[in-house]
């Protein structure tokens, strides 16, 4: 059994002065013979969530400003 820690850091710059930094830490237990697809899925979902949040924040900033 192998324990892998995956740290994903996503930095997105919005509107020049708003920086969104998302750090995602995943602890994955890899059992020999089983591919850790969960890691890839988790990271991809995390990135998509970040993008959606950034878009929402950008729209809100535009509306407020």
Length of the chain: 65
| Confidence category of residue 13, pLDDT binned at 50, 70, 90 | confident
18-57: buried (b, 16+ CB within 10 Å) or exposed (e) per residue?
Answer: eeeeeebeeeeeeeeeeebeeeeebeeebeeebeeebeee
Q: Is the pTM of this model over 0.85?
A: no
Phi first, then psi: what are they for 16, rounded to 5°? Answer: 85, -35
pLDDT digits (tens, 9 = 90+) for 36-53: 667 677 777 877 887 888
């Amino acid at each position: 059994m192998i324990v892998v820690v995956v740290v994903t850091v996503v930095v997105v710059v919005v509107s020049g002065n708003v920086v969104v930094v998302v750090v995602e830490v995943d602890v994955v237990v890899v059992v020999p013979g089983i591919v850790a697809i969960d890691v890839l899925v988790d990271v991809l979902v995390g990135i998509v969530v970040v993008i959606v949040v950034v878009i929402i924040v950008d729209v809100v900033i535009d509306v407020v400003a």
